[in-house]
Amino acid sequence: MSPEERRLRSQLNRLLSRRAVIHGSLIRRRRVCGKTHCKCTRGELHEGLYLVVTERGVPRQMYVPKQWEQTVQQWIDNYREARKLMDDVSRIHWDKVRNRQD
C-alpha cells in the first residue's frame, strides 16, 4: 500500500469511527399554513428546513427542527468528506489497474 493510500484510508477510518454521516441535502421551503388570518396569507410565508434523501430511487423528506440544523449539516458534510476520500482511494486503484500494478 502506498503512503498516499495509507494516509487516505487512515483519514477515512478516523472520520467514520468518530463522526456521524448522512447522505442527503438540506432544503428550505416556504409555505402557506392554511389558517385564514395567518400572516402567510398576506405573503409572509412560513419557512421550514427539510432533510432530503433518496432511498431506492424514491426521494424522502423529513422536517428538521431549527436546533438540529447545524448538527444535520455537519453530518452531511462528513458524508461528503468520506465520499471524497473514497473517491481518492478509488482513483489510486484505478491507476493500479491501468498500469497493471499490484
Q: What is the domain partition of the chain in residue ranges? A: 3-98
Average per-residue pLDDT for the chain? 93
**67-101 pLDDT, tens digit each:** 999 999 999 999 999 999 999 999 999 998 998 88
pTM of the model: 0.81
Q: 14-19 — which CB contacts under 8 Å span 24+ positions?
A: 15/78, 15/81, 15/82, 15/85, 16/82, 19/74, 19/75, 19/78
pLDDT greater than 90 at residue 17: yes
Output Rg (C-alpha) for the chain, integer angstroms: 21
